Amino acid sequence: MGEPDEVRYRLLGTLEVRTGDDDWCGIARAKWRGLLAVLLVTPNRVVPTEELQRQLWPDTSRRAARKLVQQYVGHLRRALADTDGAVIRTRPCGYELRARPGELDAERFLAAMGAGRRALALGDPVTAARQLSGALGIWRGTAFADVADIPAVTVEAARLNECRLIAAEGWICAELATGNCDTVVPEAAALVAANPVRERLSELLMIALYRTGRQADALGVFHHLRRVLREELGLDPGHGVQSLARTILRGQPVDARRLLAAPGAPVAG
């Protein structure tokens, strides 16, 4: 899905800013990117100067860090062509990045993801698949991919990356519910390889393989999951995945409720 014209800031990949109708550019200096990222984590809210100091210059004296904040805000304003300070506004206790609704790609992603999950919960997998595919299409890489070692940004990146996985699980559920089993096997297998202890992804891959007549491969996914969980976490797969493995072993139909359950939520056996 193409991004709407209103999007100005890309967070879902390397950090980029729209400079023209179709022109995107990165922020050259690491500290400038870091400052912009911290402000984008909470747009339209004041970030206290002391918080910016803690996030960006934790080992610098308070007085020196305050000067650095002022200096780098000036650099960032020039990079954003914010000559009048209308985008990054100076407030009595800090700075606020003003953003209109829809200017952040993360906001667009979360809205489409929410619509897709609601459609899936209402039993409309066709709409769910379309919405979730569009949401996933906004991503270009891991969130804030070129911003490192800033606590607030690390936390937000982890949250967004987790939402991406939940959206992917929902998309797989929707495609399986519409019968597109062959379509999802490669994507599901890649996700399982990248997230080997995430049981829901393994469960969905097992269903996809089983529905395409690959019973042995589906059971192989279960055995691999069980081995990885035991080696890395000292745990066994949950009841739902074990129940699914028994269903596949017996050659019985898979309960459709497994596909229409809320992505990211546990599924009853």
- In Å, how far are 18, 62, 241, 258 from 247, measured between CA atoms? 51, 62, 10, 12
Q: Decide if 115 contacts 22 (C-beta within 8 A).
A: no
For the chain, the domain total comes to 2
CA angle centred on 37, ends 196 and 48, rounded to 5°:
125
Q: Is residue 185 a part of any domain in this protein?
A: yes
59-68, 126-135, 154-163: which has the minimum mean pLDDT? 59-68
pLDDT greater than 80 at residue 250: yes
The pLDDT assigned to 188 comes to 97
Domain boundary among 48, 82, 97: 97
Chain segment 89-110, per-residue pLDDT in tens: 999 999 999 999 999 999 999 9
- Most distant CA pair in the chain, distance: 70
Q: Decide if 144 contacts 106 (C-beta within 8 A).
A: no
The pLDDT assigned to 14 comes to 96
Give the residue-averaged pLDDT of 245-267.
Answer: 72
| CATH code of the domain covering residue 50 | 1.10.10.10
Q: Decide if 72 contacts 39 (C-beta within 8 A).
A: no
Q: Is residue 60 a part of any domain in this protein?
A: yes
| CATH code of the domain covering residue 224 | 1.25.40.10
Give the residue-averaged pLDDT of 54-74.
Answer: 92
Indicate yes or no: pTM above 0.75.
yes
CA 101 to chain CA centroid, Å, is: 19
Q: Is residue 211 a part of any domain in this protein?
A: yes
Mean pLDDT of the chain: 91
pLDDT greater than 60 at residue 60: yes
pLDDT greater than 70 at residue 61: yes
Q: Is residue 153 a part of any domain in this protein?
A: no
Q: 13 is in which domain, residue-wise?
A: 9-97
pLDDT greater than 60 at residue 262: no
The pLDDT assigned to 267 comes to 33
pLDDT greater than 60 at residue 5: no
The pLDDT assigned to 20 comes to 66
Q: Is residue 30 a part of any domain in this protein?
A: yes
Tokens standing for residue 47: 């970030």
Give the residue-averaged pLDDT of 187-196.
Answer: 97
Q: Decide if 128 contacts 259 (C-beta within 8 A).
A: no
Domain boundary among 82, 97, 112: 97
Give the residue-averaged pLDDT of 122-131.
Answer: 95
Give the residue-averaged pLDDT of 209-234.
Answer: 97
